Structure 1
Amino acid sequence: MAAWDEDLLGRKEVADFLQNLLESDDEIKVINIDSPWGTGKTFFLDNWRQQLERDRGVVYFNAWEKDYTGDPFISLVAAIKDQLEKQIGKSVKQRKIVKEFKDKASQTFFATAPIMVKLLGKGVFKKISGVDVDEMNEEVSSALDKASEIAIQSIIESSKNDEKVVEGFEVTLKALVSEASRIKAKDKEKPVYILIDELDRCRPTYAIELLERVKHFFSVEGCKFIIATDTGQLLHSVKAVYGSGLR
């Protein structure tokens, strides 16, 4: 069945409008398709994906189907890698691009993963300073200032390295989408579309973490992100994580 064969509500015209808008303005990187549950967001994205596949690189990621996996960054990167790899082929050059993307993605995962234990958590503190907080007494408390200084310097250096890792990942992502554009659209100037569906149906923590991890890559040249959500429902997820005071 071809794209839009079952389109009875003129949604193809909406997809055409959005595509023209996205490709006519480089400043527009992200679009949120806001609609309540059951109103056809997945139908719209699935048919738009089929239309785009004719001459554009495109990745479809169903967040709800993957929210059991733990870290959303891994699932999304796997979708990008697997789907674009199929679209660009497997020449020596293309295999090298995919490998570099995978390698940088692995480094970026560790660089940007949420910190499970804060700096002053006992385990981290002991690892950095060699001081067991539970066993500290007045005689060794003077070690605290020195250990804190060491810890802060360590965090600063780690942050610098993390920034370099993320920048490296952005470069390899750009190379991958550029190759997809060259193969699919015969034009490196045409964008690759990353469609993220069912975000509002995910576990609150998963949905928010996915947005927090992906937002750093919204500015990657050659990428256009389409996120389909019930924004009201997603707001409930945000409140579940950050508090009910958010509006």
Structure 2
Amino acid sequence: MSKILPNLPIENLTVDSDYLGIIDKGEIIKTFLETNIEEFSQVKMFSLYGEWGSGKSTLMKYLQKELNGSFNTFFFEAWEFESDSNLSLSLLEFLTTESQDSTNKALGEIVEIAGKLFKGFSKSMRITFPGLSIDGSKIIETLEEAPVETFLQLKKKFKTEFVRWEDLITKGKNPKYNIVFIDDLDRCEPENVLNLLSALKLFFTYGEKTIFFCGVDKKAINEAVRTKYGKVVKANEYLEKIFDISFTMPEHENLLKLVSVYFEDKDVSNRVSIFLKDLDFTNPRRVKKMFNKFYILRNIRKSSKKGNYIGLMPDFYFEGSGNYLETILTLYFIILHEFFPSKYRDLFDFKKKEANFYKAFQGSNIETQRVQISQRINKNIIQQPFYTILDDTPDRNFEHYSLALLPCDADSLTSSSFKKDQFHTFKVKKKEIEYRFVLHLYNNNVFDIKNGFSECTLIGLKKMVRNII
């Protein structure tokens, strides 16, 4: 198996390629949908909540494959139609085009009616809770010619034609219900997202044989609602009004199966999985991107043509050997470089760190204690080879490395906060990734190892990550 994992959805998910427990979740949703078909004349809008990169597309692709036979399935990737002037009309054209072979009939009339109905839709929308509402007169006003049909007439025609399409696609031996998966909404412009969701709720649910299953990033919807309506409408209220039933992507706290792709040793895989959880770095797409970069470094290390990078490589786990500290330092630096560039840039800004530590200092004899803090900050530690750890005690090494790696935004500390037995007195304003990393070092006794360290340095590792990846 290749160790380079794509960030694209997995088209044919299997037990072997299911690194995130998606199949288990998919089977639950599949069973629910197949055993409640008789309810879908009333319940038609479903959502799958999950953040960007959490695997929503893979799960929906799996459901499309598994439900094919029980439903007529359609998969609308909204982002591919983002350049169209109206996503609602694009969806309808997609459905009629995809079902043409099954119906063997031209369905131009419904598209023509929808063109009139949806043309002024975005201008006519207003949100009035507890329900959604539209101003039909504004739709008619946007037509280029004098209206020959009222808004109510257009709605009635659309309903008639949509039901006719449903009857055509579900006749004979075809499945009696349709399911439309809508993906990539979080990649679309906020207003387009809201217009499509509102159109689904207000028009596409006229039928009795079609349900819609949307992958939704709540953060993206929250931003879209705030952009269009300010504080008048809350995102959760909007989503509750749009969707009848919602599902949530499984939590990815345990990444052991994904991590095991890169580390053959079970103990190493388990420790690295815990490490990522401790960092709160568990988004599957980001984790795969991080490991793909790590795999590049492993290939360079394996190559006989390392060039100028010889001597810089840390002793991360590779082909059955290595040490944990240098492994997680490498992964951590990749994470900062790829996803937290400002933190990566400020990583060894001792001047900034010292100034902020001074401000956060608590205690008596402040000036004297500040001098002691300054003396404790060993700026040379980042230039010392990792193997020099052998020359000191684990607690002393924790003190050196914590000072180099801790964030600048300390909230309170004393001159003893950097000692391992007093680390709990170091307080931060927000427990961001730098603090969580040092906390992982503190909790996992990574400095107790007494062999296998390389000649690489912290500053050398930082430069290597920057230069290579």
With structure 2 as the length reference, what TM-score do the two structures score? 0.39
- 2:163 corresponds to: 174
CA shift digits 1:135-181 (9 cap, x unpaired): xxxxxxxxxxxxxxxx99x97x9697112112211211111122212
In structure 2, the partner of 1:242 is 229
- Whether contact under 8 Å (2:194, 2:224) holds in the other structure is yes
- Structure 2 gaps, min length 5: 1-9, 125-136, 235-469
Cα distance between partner residues in 2 of 1:159 and 1:21: 45
Does structure 2 retain, via aligned residues, the 8 Å contact 1:60–1:194?
A: yes
Partner of 2:3: none
**Distance (whole Å) between structure 2 residues aligned to residue 115 and residue 33 of structure 1:** 28
Deviation at 1:7, TM superposition (A): 4.0
The reply to whether residue 18 of structure 1 matches residue 32 of structure 2 is: yes
SS at match of 2:213: strand
Residue 122 of structure 1 corresponds to none
Deviations along 1:43-73, whole A, 9 cap, x unmatched? 1111212223334222211112222222112
Q: In the superposition, relative to structure 1, how do residues 159 and 238 fare at CA in structure 2: closer, same or farther (>3 Å)?
A: farther
Query: In the alignment, what sits opposite 2:86?
Result: 71
Residue identity opposite 2:90 in structure 1: S
Q: Check if 1:193 corresponds to 2:179.
A: yes
Q: Which residue of 2 aligns with 1:230?
A: 217
For 2:200 and 2:185, the matched residues in 1 are separated by 13
Correspondence list, 1:143-222, <5 A: 161-183=150-172, 185=174, 190-216=176-202, 217-222=204-209
Q: What secondary structure is seen at the aligned counterpart in 2 of 1:182? A: coil
Task: For 2:78 and 2:173, locate their aligned partners in 1 and report how far apart those are by CA, in whole Å.
Answer: 25
Task: Report Cα offsets for 1:9-68 as digits up to 9, x if no partner.
Answer: 223312313313541423211111111111111011112122233342222111122222
Greater RCO structure (CA 8 Å; 6+ sep): 1
Alignment of 1:26-175 (within 5 A): 26=40, 27-86=42-101, 88-90=102-104, 95-96=105-106, 98-110=107-119, 112-115=120-123, 161-175=150-164
How far has the Cα of 1:232 moved from its partner?
A: 2.8
Q: Is the 8 A contact 1:12 1:48 kept in 2?
A: yes
Higher CA-based Rg: 2
Distance 1:64 1:22 in 2: 30
**1:170-193 CA-partner distances (Å, limit 9, x unpaired):** 21111112221225635xxx3211
Letter aligned with residue 192 of structure 1: N
Shift of 1:85: 1.5
Which amino acid letter does the alignment assign opposite residue 226 of structure 1?
A: F
- Maintained 8 Å contact 1:22/1:224: no
Q: Aligned letter for 2:174?
A: A
Give unpaired runs (5+ residues) of structure 1. 117-150
| Partner AA of 2:196 in structure 1 | L
Range moving further from structure 2, 8-17 or 236-245? 8-17
Q: How big is the shift at 1:240?
A: 0.7
Deviation at 1:89, TM superposition (A): 4.5
TM-score under structure 1 length normalisation = 0.70
For 2:224, the aligned partner's letter is S
Aligned-residue RMSD, C-alpha? 3.0
Partner Cα distance (1:32, 1:81) in 2: 23
Q: Which amino acid aligns with 1:31?
A: F
SS at match of 2:171: helix
Contact 1:104 1:168 in 2 (8 A): yes
Give % identity.
18
CA contact (8 A) 1:61 1:197 kept: yes
Show the counterpart of 2:387. Answer: none
Contact kept, 8 Å, 1:55 with 1:184, in 2: the verdict is no
2:77–2:184 CA contact under 8 A, matched in 1 = yes
* Distance change >3 Å, CA 243–CA 2, structure 1 → 2: closer
Change (3 A) 1:34 1:89: same
